[in-house]
Amino acid sequence: MSRGRMTAADIRRIFARYDPIALGVAIGAVAAIAIFGATALLLLKGGEVVGPRLALLSNYLISFDVSWTGGLIGAVEAGILGFVFGWILAAMINLVVALHESAFWFNADVTRTHD
């Protein structure tokens, strides 16, 4: 960035965009690890009744149950849902950033016209 004067490339860097795929993969990976980790922890802990509260996730994750197979399937489902959520979140953030950038350029044009 040059001192005192900004170029169009500087403005594009200031209004940087999120990568929807990267954010989707990151959130999906965290969701998958969390579901599998919680399931594995309860299975390793054992007991007569294993994870009645965690089993409630089957209301949201179709094939999930508190078992090793259910934990893997739930991790895949949570990963997919996390990816979709992250992708949509990044797209919405990028929309807001684009609106702010266009408002900046509009204000810059109006200022330049009045000078």
- Is residue 111 very low, low, confident or very high in pLDDT (cuts 50, 70, 90)? low
Measure the CA–CA gap between 17 and 76, rounded to whole angstroms.
Answer: 28
Asked whether the beta carbons of 68 and 52 are under 8 A apart, the reply is: no
3 falls in which pLDDT band (50, 70, 90)? low
Q: Is residue 83 within 8 Å of 27, Cβ to Cβ?
A: yes
According to the model, what pLDDT value does residue 37 have? 96
pLDDT of residue 66: 92
16-46 pLDDT, tens digit each: 899 999 999 999 999 999 999 999 999 999 8
Domain boundaries along the sequence of the chain: 20-101
> What would the pLDDT profile of 53-84 be if each residue is shown by its tens digit?
999 999 999 989 999 999 999 999 999 999 99
More confident residue, 2 or 37: 37
Say if residues 64 and 47 touch (Cβ distance below 8 Å). Answer: no
